[in-house]
Amino acid sequence: MSAQLKMPALFQDRSLVVPCLLFVVQILLAAILSPRLFTVDGIGGAILVVTPLVLTTLAITPIVIAGRASVDLAVGPLLSFINVTLIAWLVGNGITNPVAVISWVVGVGAAYQLIQALIIIYVRVAPIIVTLSGFLVLSGVNLMVMSSSGGVAPDWMMSWGAGTSIFSPVLGLLIAAFAIWAIIRRTSFFTHLRMTGADERMAYTSGVRVNLVRIAAHMLGGVFVGLAALSYTALVSSGDPTQGSNYTLQAVTALVLGGANLAGGRGGALGSTLGALNMFLISYLLSVFSFGSVTGYVTQMAFGLVLMTSLLINVVMTSRRVA
């Protein structure tokens, strides 16, 4: 028993087996087909590209763990909203101080998620309706704020998007997000979060303030969205009102690929990160081959096939564990 307690989470949680195996296989394929990924420039560029997806996936992780099938469909447009308002409203008015910029992105993300949580919990509207409405509204608002891509990121961020160094400020954002998660995971809040997602009634009768837990989960997700928007701004070095919406589908796919349960109660930073890394590697490996004008469709098809396969394997493994 003591040996089991010392085993890493990777071997204790069967939901991580599939994403780990897929990651290892893709890393081996990348080493054979495109070893440039393992150079300093390759790793630096990979960190720059994958960080927004990892952080966006982390943003929906606590919300999904909280249960009620609370998948945040608005997370992509929210990322874009923070990005375009940062460029158009802050930088456009000469506000480029790092403290002000970071406070803005984190504050806007947390504030939006707070409003969304209050509507879901107290107005009692289904989460999918609220978040889908948010997706549509924010998509329109983003185009009103900035009709097309443009603007320039603050001067102190311009070097972030070089992707020529492994130890970059973007990696610092990623490490900061993991540190926040590590701290949260060691608090009673995380225990209450998983209890709420696994069985809300039992959690309530055990004294857990389930509504407060759900609100905190949404606001934590908002903080991660803010960090994702900051890393995305570093990636594109400007404002983009539309491309952020693509992160919604990718983040949900990465979350499920990482072993999270959309019904709640299960998920974590490790699984979400593995899911996002696998998504990146699928795109990277497919880019080695030439599919011409249908490259985007082939990538989407690959995402779907890998997702369905991993879900089927997880279902089989779960059924065997129950039996």
**Residue-wise DSSP of 43-82:** HHHHHHHHHHHHHHHHHHHHHHHTSTT---TTHHHHHHHH
pLDDT value at residue 7: 46
| pLDDT tens digits along 8-36 | 545 456 778 888 988 999 999 999 988 99
- Which is more confident, 261 or 313? 261
Residue 2 falls inside a structural domain: no
Residue 69 falls inside a structural domain: yes
Does residue 204 carry a pLDDT above 70?
A: yes
Domain with 233, as residue range(s), is 52-266
Give dist(CA 223, CA 183) in Å, integer. Answer: 14
Residue 12 falls inside a structural domain: no
pLDDT value at residue 304: 77
Residue 294 falls inside a structural domain: no
Residue 234 falls inside a structural domain: yes
Does residue 317 carry a pLDDT above 70?
A: no
Cβ neighbours of residue 271 closer than 8 Å, sequence gap 6 or more: 13, 15, 16, 19, 255, 258, 259, 260
Assigned token pair, 262:
């959309």
pTM > 0.85: yes or no: yes
Give dist(CA 16, CA 208) in Å, integer. Answer: 28
- Looking up tokens 């974590």 gives 268
Lowest mean pLDDT among 118-127, 281-290, 294-303: 294-303
Helices 98-118 & 127-145, crossing angle to 10 degrees? 140
Q: Could you give the number of structural domains in the chain?
A: 1
Mean pLDDT of the chain: 88
Q: What is the mean pLDDT of residues 201-225?
A: 93
**Residue-wise DSSP of 300-315:** HHHHHHHHHHHHHHHH
Does residue 315 carry a pLDDT above 80?
A: no
DSSP state of 258: T
Residue 209 falls inside a structural domain: yes
Residue 143 falls inside a structural domain: yes
Residue 169 falls inside a structural domain: yes
| pLDDT tens digits along 155-197 | 999 888 877 788 899 999 999 999 999 999 999 999 999 999 8
pLDDT value at residue 58: 96
